[in-house]
Amino acid sequence: MTAQVSAPAPAQTKGSALKAFFFHRPERKYINAYLGGALLGLVLFTSFFLTGNGLGASGGLNRIIVYFQDMVAPEHVDRVAYLLKLAGGEKNALDDWIVPMIFGTLIGGFVAGWWFGRLKVVTNKGPQISVRTRWALAFVGGGIMGYGARMARGCTSGQALSGGAVLSVGSWAFMFAVFAGAYALAYFVRKLWN
């Protein structure tokens, strides 16, 4: 991943000016967690109030994957019931509200990171592991997370936040399971983060 940016650039496009525009803003601190939570609650409420749907992320990633699978091997998609539901026959896997939502999430994160000076090519890791180890573990952790999220029919956003706010029993059970799983393993992998 290089630091190239494909966002609309200002007119005088000297490489360094562009770089300064995106990467040299003064870095600000993160906001208070309760304030962040309250703002997130407002976004979540707005979503439910206007559309009847909550927030989501893993569902959108799922549709992007299935879209490419449908491009490469449409017969395969039509033969697997789970994939068929998303992209069978004439269906376009990307034709769903969750897809624009995750692109919005990407842009929203980017704009906030840029505005508050946190747009940095950096690897966050614990002090005891190498950058490469961190990358490998991020990939492995992501894989486990992605698998679990589909099994649970939603991730932290689609199940825990959204289902939690509308008091779904399954979502609350799920939420406690996530924390239980993480805390159960945390001690054994403490070298990764501390």
Partner 1 sequence: MPFPLPLEALVGKPLMYLIFGLIGFGFGFVLEISGFGNSKKLAAQFYFKDMTVLKVMFTAIIVAMVLIFTMVGLGVLDFNQVWVNPTYLWPGIVGGLIMGVGFVIGGFCPGTSLVAASTFKVDGVFFVLGGLFGIFLFGETEQYFDTWWNSSYYGRLTIMDWLGLSTGVVVVAVVLMALFMFWAGEKLEHRFGGVDQKRAPKWRYAGAGVLLAAAVGVLLIGQPTTESKWQRVATVKDAALVNREVQIHPGELLASLGDDALRVVVLDVRPESEYNLFHIQGAQNAPLDQLPSFIPELHAKQAANTVFVTVGNDEEAATNAWKLLTAESVPNVYILEGGINNWLATFEAEGSEIQATPTPMPGNDTLKYVFASALGDRYAAAAPSPHEWELEYTPKIKLQIQRDKSGGGCG
Of residues 118-137, which lie at the interface with partner 1 (CB under 8 A)? Answer: 118-126, 131, 134-137
d(CA 81, CA 61): 19
By rule CB under 8 A, what count of residues binds partner 1?
132
Question: Would you say 74 or 125 has its CB closer to partner 1?
Answer: 125
d(CA 109, CA 168): 28
- Residue 9: name the closest of 18, 120, 24 by CA: 18
Question: Would you say 4 or 16 has its CB closer to partner 1?
Answer: 4
- Considering only 107, 128, 130, 191, the residue that binds partner 1 (CB under 8 A) is 107
Query: How many CB atoms are located within 10 Å of the residue 82 CB?
Result: 10
- Considering only 24, 103, 128, 191, the residue that binds partner 1 (CB under 8 A) is 103
Record the tokens describing residue 133, joined without a space.
């180890």
Question: Would you say 21 or 114 has its CB closer to partner 1?
Answer: 114
- Nearest distance, CB of residue 20 and partner 1, angstroms: 16
- The answer to whether residues 8 and 18 touch, using CB atoms and an 8 Å cutoff, is no
Question: Would you say 12 or 106 has its CB closer to partner 1?
Answer: 106
Site membership for partner 1, residue 70 (CB under 8 A): no
Residues 9-28 that bind partner 1 (CB under 8 A): none
- Considering only 9, 71, 100, 191, the residue that binds partner 1 (CB under 8 A) is 100
The crossing angle, in degrees rounded to 10, of helices 58-72 and 131-151 is 90
Site membership for partner 1, residue 72 (CB under 8 A): no
Site membership for partner 1, residue 180 (CB under 8 A): yes
Identity of the residue numbered 29: K
d(CA 94, CA 100): 9
d(CA 174, CA 101): 23
Record the tokens describing residue 136, joined without a space.
């490998």
Record the tokens describing residue 3, joined without a space.
């630091």
State the binding string over 132-171 for partner 1 (x if CB under 8 A, else -): --xxxxxxxxxxxxxxxxxxxxxxxxxxxxxxxxxxxxxx
- Considering only 9, 92, 185, 191, the residue that binds partner 1 (CB under 8 A) is 185
